Copies of this chain bind each other. A is one copy, B any other.
Amino acid sequence: MASSDTRTQLLDAAERLFAERGYRGTSVRAITELAGANLAAVGYHFGSKAQLLAAVVRRVIEPINAAQCAGLDRLLARTSQPRVAELVEAFAGPLFDVITEGDESSAQTSQLIMTILSDPAEEMRSWNGPVEDLVRDRYLAEFQRALPDLSPPELWFRMRGLLAVTAVDRVEISHRRPVTGPSPAAGEESRRFAITFLAAAMSAPPTRT
């Protein structure tokens, strides 16, 4: 039972550090120190650093995935042809919502997702399972129904754009903000800005060929 506690502490510490510093930028030593555990604990509980990453990602992704799935079910129960904006909200909303509420945690999850999406390390590509693919394919099909004029390659591009924007909290334009600086959006505001931005983007007429 102290076991399960250490396991959770390791997951928490790893989630935070992977988000802040990336996979390669985080050492097992840093994780175990932050978790108040022994260096050997990662090996004992997870087998390796890569398997710890997989466990972290699964823990973050699963509730998001379930929410995306439930959101689509709810939408389809109400109307046979959801609007694009509704699909965007159902898909992207859960990516901004957080299990543990609070702004730092929200930004952390967003950062972790972006880290996963953009990290070229091979270990980062192994989290994706059939469940994630299924949900994505369901949304893909619904977007295609809502946007029948869009070619499959352009729809695919927009799906990726949707994900990229979702992880926008990781993107920093520069380390200096403008002199007459607008303060950045945070938390709930980010979420609503993203829905507006993405609903318009997804609804755009097809690029003429």
Contact = CB atoms under 8 A, between A and B. Distances in A.
Interface stretch (A30-38, A39-47, A99-107, A187-195): A187-195
Nearest to A198: B201
Chain copies in the assembly? 2
Interface size class of A (residues with CB under 8 A): 35 or more
Interface of A: 20-22, 24-25, 111, 114-115, 117-121, 125-126, 128, 132-133, 136-137, 140, 151-161, 163-165, 167-168, 170-176, 178-179, 182-185, 189-190, 192-201, 203-207
17 contacts: A117-B118, A117-B172, A118-B170, A118-B171, A126-B175, A128-B176, A133-B174, A152-B183, A153-B183, A153-B189, A157-B184, A159-B173, A160-B168, A161-B194, A197-B201, A199-B204, A200-B200
A164 B157 contact: no
B161 A185 contact: no
A120 B133 CA distance: 27
